Amino acid sequence: MDKKNISAPVFIGVIVVVVLIVGYFVWKSMGPSEPVLGAGQSIQNPLGTAAPRGGGARGGMPPGGRNVPAPGTAGPQGFGPSKGAPVNR
């Protein structure tokens, strides 16, 4: 057997094996990525945990109190114009 006749099929075989290995790793990396969870989320609770409310004397209300309209700007049912809107008397 000639050395020249054996080296050509071996060279082609090595190229085919390398292409198959590279193709396998490219195919594996094309799968879906892992999900990234946000702060306070888990697989069991995907919407997250509720933020704890302050249990002070106001029952968890934010500082500054309620947004109560000025006297005379709201109707008898409690509905009225937007805050800062001109009021016709």
pLDDT tens across 9-20, in order? 899 999 999 999
pLDDT tens digit sequence for 42-89: 888 878 776 655 555 545 555 666 677 677 666 555 566 667 777 776
User: What mean pLDDT comes out for the span 21-34?
Assistant: 88
The Cα–Cα gap between 43 and 37 comes to 8
pLDDT at 39 over 80: yes
How high is the pLDDT of residue 4? Answer: 62
Answer left, alpha or beta for residue 30, where phi above 0 means left and psi between -120 and 50 means alpha. Answer: alpha
Q: Find all residues with CB under 8 Å of 60, minimum gap 6, and list them.
A: 53, 54
